[in-house]
Amino acid sequence: MRILLIEDDAMIGAGLCQALERVAMTVDWVKTAADAAPALAPGEHALVLLDLGLPDGDGLQLLRAHRASRGALPIIIITARDSLDARIAGLDLGADDYVLKPFETSELLARIRAVMRRHAGSASPMLAAGELTLDLASHEARFQGAKVLLPAREFALLRALCARPGMIFSRAQLEAAIYGWGEEVESNAIDVLIYAIRQKLGRSAIRNVRGAGWMVTKDMA
Ligand code: CA
């Protein structure tokens, strides 16, 4: 799951990158409104964290422009502004939630999970695909009696597959889902992650579709 972080404060940004990467989220970080506008194009990111006070513009303008062009990215405002008006304006412009700086990382992470659940149309903190279940908070995966805590990158890959059970993901689609801008991706990186997941959960946890990619099934065995 890739997050677009729009934040000009170096310390807050670096702290958020670290915290999000620890929970298997890949962060692409921009520090200005000018860099943020093209990054808000659909397709690349699962969620946006948006600071309002940017050096060259206002986050609310970015939000307004994104929603005006029918952009549907989930957006959480992170702001030091204690003005009630700015928060109300943000929500009315289509933000999904907001957190006030300074915030506890654990609360922001819980809000991200909640916004993603609402966006997926589900109230459950579990992601289920056939016999596979993923606990999005604890990173525990279960499959046919096996239960295991997955490291960040393996969890990120399985989360991408389980979000769309029955859909075949190509190598490029999986790489795009879990690696950020400028990350070196070994040509066999996806194979290595899938091998590791299968070693832990069982070979049939992820299906190969010859010549097309990989998928998890919707059906119970
Ligand atoms: Ca700022």
Instruction: Quote the CA–CA distance of 115 and 21 in Å, as a whole number.
Output: 18
Q: What is the pLDDT of residues 18-50, one digit of tens each?
A: 999 999 999 999 999 999 999 998 888 999 999
Instruction: Quote the CA–CA distance of 47 and 76 in Å, as a whole number.
Output: 8
- DSSP letter at 165? T
The protein residues having their C-beta less than 5 angstroms from ligand 1 (an ion) are: 8, 51, 53
* The two three-digit tokens of residue 47, written as one number: 């969620």
Low-confidence ranges of the chain (pLDDT < 70): 81-82, 221
Note the pTM of the prediction, 2 decimals.
Answer: 0.85
Question: How many angstroms is it from 170 CA to the middle of ligand 1?
Answer: 37
Instruction: Quote the CA–CA distance of 7 and 29 in Å, as a whole number.
Output: 7
High-pLDDT (> 90) share of the chain, %: 86
Question: How many angstroms is it from 50 CA to the middle of ligand 1?
Answer: 9
Cα angle for residues 116, 119, 121 (degrees, 5° grid): 110
